Every structure is written in structure tokens, then in C-alpha cells.
């Protein structure tokens, strides 16, 4: 059996954990540059707010109902996510982080000694006690069904945080009550095809024959069908390794100076390289995109995208940043006010083994790799950006995102540690 542990309204729950006065009140967290709502509590939904709403369009609701608004603080959320994961790993041998607020726990063998439903309910209670983060747990034979179970645990209090789908009767009942669009692995194109074929519920989809599924859907859809029928076949660690890595942001203020653009691209490239090393991978291609503000029709509009291959697959921040700057030089046009940019690493493959080149211009790759590892260790211990490239510029550069309502890094920065008045 597999358990999915999903933190409820995670970003909002973290903010509420450090602001106890917000219990039972509407809370939202905004995207970068304080643009749109990306996380929302049930209380905020009840007053008419929705995920994705531009905050400037719903200011009347925010003011009328006293909604507490926070800017995103990914450093704080990541630190709390790590605490939740550590609690899980104290009790369960194999835990796989799927996202910042979701973890898969493999329970095979535990049923011989524990009531797994009560065991996960006890762990959910421990997470709440230690971090004040509420979680919903779904237990099922497959990851897709575990996702379904966690949704029921979240929406119905009678489950007491844990919903187990361990019989065919429970599986069919759950799929009959679930929305087809909410099934993990069913994207827009698959959803359109299923609805075109007259399929309205996950149960109707699961009841289709294997030959029908193979003739109408591609491999991802076929895997989802198998998972809905209780046959595990999705390896999420494999999926994560195959994805490209992207870091992009809208700027706090539009920039037209190439120096500021180089700073932004350098920081985005460094972020991508850090993620690449974290999953022990290397990339073979660097892409950069830049664009003006499409909402400023009074200004010249321009956007462009380009890529360059890396001579040798690498995760070296220096090498990736230099290549990203070369791509930027091809794209940049003077006289344009740029609002957004990003760096994408693709052609991702395992870090070992890699094919070297006879005429490689980097002659000290081993030493460079050791340098990157040392920098990662220092940044992991003392906080992100403790050591960074000078090319990344300063925090005062105009391209940095707006974050007027950001909480402090209470548990990852000694200078911002939580203060309690007695």
C-alpha cells in the first residue's frame, strides 16, 4: 500500500503557524511580484476568493472581509516542508517527496504489525502537534488512488485526516463520486478526448476495456487507467528526472539595461544549476527567454526565445551561467522595457556517466565539481545565496520581485528568528 501525505493549504498553513491570531480567518498567499493568489484557505474561499485571482481585482473583497495577505516566502515554506518530511521519515522507512507539500510513503510490510490507517492517523496528529500543519492522507494500492483518497480525507472531516481505499467496493464508490478533471494524470487533451467519448466520471473511465484504452489514449492515459484499476505503474521519481528545469520571474520593475538583465539571468541560471545538482543530474542545453510587458500597449512589444547546446553535459553554475549570457546576448534588444525573463535547462540525464570531449575547454572539471559541492554545502548550512556569483548582482537591483507582505524566515535565518513577547 502507498500513502500520500498532502499538507492542507500548505503556504497558508505555514503562515498561520507563525501567526496564531489567524486561526479561522481568511488567508491568502500571493505569487511572485504579489500578482495572483496561489494559496487560499477555506475561509477565504467562502468570501468569494479563488486561486488564480489577480489581487488588484479582488481588493474590495480583501478589505471588506479583512483577508490577511502574504507574499510568497519559499525559503520558509521549504524549511517547514523539510520538518514535515523528517517526521514522516522517523516512522516510515521509504518516503518520497513528490512536491513541497506532498510525500508518498511506502507501507508494504507495515500491515503485518500495524493498523496502517491508525498508524497514518497517528503520524498526521504528530505532524499537527509538532508543526501546526494539518495534513490529509490517502492510502491505496496505487499513487493515483492514494491521491483520490487524500482529496476525500481533506473534504470530509469524518475520515479524521485519513481515507483508505483498500477494497474494490471502496475504489468504485470513490471513483463514482470523484470529478474526472481532478484525477492525477488526466490533462486537458486526455480530458477532452474522454468527454468526447461520453465518459463523465473516473469510474466510467476505469470500467473501459484495455483494448479501448489502448486504441484511444497514449501511454500516460493508459497508465492512469491501470492505476485507477489498482495496478501500480507510475514511477514519480522517474518522471521528475525527465522534466526540464526552469526558473523564471516577472520583474518588480521593468528594466531596459542589459546589465540588470545579465544579473537576473545569472541568478536564474544559478537556481537551475542548484536544482540540477540536487537531483544528481546534468543538462545538455541552455535556453533563455525574455519578454516585455504585454499589458503596456503604450510601449514597444518584444519577446524572444533561443537555446544553445552545452559542449559537455554539466551542472556547473559557472558554465551554465556563461552559456545563458551568450544566449541573452543573441536575444537582447536595446530600447525595450523588459518585464519577464527565464532560464530553462533541458536534455537532462544522470550525472554519471557522461561523455567527455577531447577538445573540452574546461580542463579542471573534477575540481569545478568539488567547488560546486562545497558551495552547495555552505549554502545549505548558512542559507541560500550565502555564496553566489558576483554576476547575480545585489538584492537592490530593480528586477527583483516585489514582496511587500513577506513573512520573515523564522526558522532558517538567525537574524529573523521568531520573537515572543511575554
Write the pLDDT tens digit of every residue in 148-206. Answer: 999 999 988 899 999 999 999 999 999 998 888 889 888 888 888 889 889 989 999 99
Locate CATH 3.30.1490.100 in the chain.
Answer: 243-392
| Res 238 pLDDT > 70 | no
Percent of the chain with pLDDT over 70: 97
Look at residue 237 in the predicted model and tell me its pLDDT: 66
Tell which CATH architecture fits domain 243-392.
Answer: 2-Layer Sandwich (3.30)
| Res 111 pLDDT > 90 | no
CA distance 252 to 404: 11
Task: Yes or no: say if 243 and 348 are a contact pair by the CB < 8 Å rule.
Answer: yes
Look at residue 341 in the predicted model and tell me its pLDDT: 93
Question: From 3.60.110.10, 1.10.3720.10, 3.30.360.10, 3.30.70.270, which CATH number describes the 1-148 domain?
Answer: 3.30.70.270
Cell 552559456 maps to which residue? Answer: 323
Look at residue 252 in the predicted model and tell me its pLDDT: 82
Locate CATH 1.10.150.20 in the chain.
Answer: 167-236
| Res 227 pLDDT > 70 | yes
Q: What is the average pLDDT across 288-297?
A: 90
Q: What is the average pLDDT across 71-84?
A: 90
Locate CATH 3.30.70.270 in the chain.
Answer: 1-148
When mean pLDDT is compared across 92-96, 301-305, 378-382, 398-402, the lowest value belongs to: 398-402
CA distance 201 to 197: 12
pLDDT in tens, 16-63: 999 888 888 999 999 877 888 999 999 999 999 999 989 889 999 999
Mention every residue, 6+ apart, whose C-beta is less than 8 A from residue 217.
190, 193, 225
Pairing relationship of beta strands 135-140 and 162-164 according to DSSP bridges: parallel
Q: Which CATH class name applies to 167-236?
A: mainly alpha
pLDDT mean across residues, the chain = 88
Mention every residue, 6+ apart, whose C-beta is less than 8 A from residue 398.
251, 252, 253, 255, 260
Q: pTM of this prediction?
A: 0.79
Look at residue 188 in the predicted model and tell me its pLDDT: 86
Look at residue 89 in the predicted model and tell me its pLDDT: 93
Say which DSSP state 184 is in: T
| Res 143 pLDDT > 90 | yes
Alpha helix positions (H), 163-233: 168-177, 188-196, 202-206, 210-216, 219-228
- Greatest mean pLDDT among 31-45, 130-144, 357-371 lies in 130-144
| Res 396 pLDDT > 80 | no
Cell 522595457 maps to which residue? Answer: 337
When mean pLDDT is compared across 165-174, 250-259, 275-284, 405-414, the lowest value belongs to: 405-414
Is 374 exposed, middle or buried (CB count within 10 Å of its CB: 0-12, 13-18, 19+)?
Answer: exposed
CA-nearest of 354, 375, 356 to 273 is 375
Look at residue 367 in the predicted model and tell me its pLDDT: 87
Look at residue 298 in the predicted model and tell me its pLDDT: 86
Q: How confident is the model at residue 241 (pLDDT cuts 50, 70, 90)?
A: low
| Secondary structure of residue 139 in the 3-state scheme | strand
Q: What is the average pLDDT across 373-382?
A: 85
| Res 129 pLDDT > 70 | yes
pLDDT in tens, 319-333: 999 999 999 999 999
| Res 242 pLDDT > 70 | no
Cell 520573515 maps to which residue? Answer: 408
Amino acid at each position: 500500500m502507498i500513502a500520500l501525505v498532502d499538507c492542507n493549504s500548505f503556504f497558508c498553513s505555514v503562515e498561520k503557524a507563525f501567526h496564531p491570531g489567524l486561526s479561522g480567518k481568511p488567508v491568502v498567499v500571493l505569487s511572485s511580484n504579489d500578482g495572483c493568489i496561489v494559496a487560499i484557505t477555506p475561509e477565504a474561499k467562502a468570501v468569494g476568493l479563488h486561486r488564480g485571482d489577480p489581487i488588484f481585482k479582488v481588493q474590495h473583497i480583501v478589505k471588506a472581509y479583512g483577508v490577511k495577505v502574504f507574499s510568497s516566502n519559499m525559503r520558509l515554506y521549504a524549511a517547514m516542508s523539510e520538518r514535515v518530511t523528517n517526521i514522516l521519515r522517523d516512522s516510515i522507512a521509504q518516503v518520497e517527496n513528490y512536491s513541497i507539500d506532498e510525500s508518498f510513503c511506502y507501507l508494504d510490510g507495515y500491515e503485518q504489525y500495524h493498523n496502517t490507517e491508525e498508524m497514518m492517523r497517528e503520524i498526521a496528529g504528530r505532524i499537527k502537534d509538532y508543526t501546526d500543519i494539518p495534513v490529509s492522507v490517502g492510502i491505496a494500492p496505487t499513487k493515483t488512488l492514494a491521491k483520490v483518497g487524500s482529496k476525500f480525507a481533506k473534504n470530509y472531516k469524518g475520515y479524521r485526516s485519513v481515507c483508505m481505499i483498500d477494497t474494490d467496493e471502496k475504489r468504485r464508490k470513490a471513483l463514482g463520486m470523484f470529478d474526472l478533471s481532478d484525477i492525477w494524470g488526466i490533462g486537458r487533451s486526455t480530458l477532452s478526448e474522454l468527454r468526447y467519448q461520453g465518459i463523465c466520471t473516473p469510474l466510467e473511465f476505469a470500467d473501459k476495456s484495455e483494448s479501448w484504452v489502448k486504441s484511444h489514449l497514449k501511454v500516460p492515459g493508459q497508465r492512469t487507467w491501470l492505476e485507477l484499476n489498482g495496478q501500480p505503474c507510475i514511477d514519480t521519481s522517474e518522471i521528475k528526472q525527465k522534466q526540464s528545469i526552469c526558473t523564471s520571474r516577472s520583474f518588480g520593475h521593468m528594466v531596459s539595461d542589459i546589465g540588470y538583465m545579465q544579473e537576473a539571468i545569472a541568478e536564474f541560471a544559478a537556481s537551475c544549476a542548484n536544482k540540477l545538482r540536487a537531483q544528481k543530474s546534468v543538462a545538455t542545453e541552455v535556453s533563455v527567454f525574455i519578454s516585455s510587458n504585454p499589458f503596456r500597449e503604450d510601449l514597444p512589444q518584444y519577446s524572444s526565445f533561443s537555446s544553445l547546446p552545452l559542449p559537455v553535459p554539466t551542472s556547473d553554475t559557472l558554465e551554465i551561467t556563461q552559456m545563458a549570457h551568450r544566449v541573452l546576448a543573441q536575444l537582447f534588444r536595446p530600447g525595450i522595457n523588459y518585464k519577464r525573463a527565464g532560464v530553462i535547462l533541458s536534455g537532462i540525464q544522470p550525472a554519471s556517466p557522461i561523455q567527455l570531449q577531447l577538445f573540452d575547454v574546461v580542463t579542471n572539471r573534477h575540481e569545478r565539481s568539488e567547488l560546486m559541492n562545497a558551495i552547495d554545502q555552505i549554502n545549505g548550512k548558512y542559507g541560500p545565496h550565502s555564496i553566489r556569483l558576483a554576476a547575480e548582482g545585489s538584492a537592490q537591483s530593480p528586477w527583483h520581485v516585489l514582496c511587500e507582505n513577506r513573512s520573515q524566515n523564522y526558522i532558517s535565518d538567525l537574524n529573523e528568528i521568531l520573537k515572543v513577547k511575554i
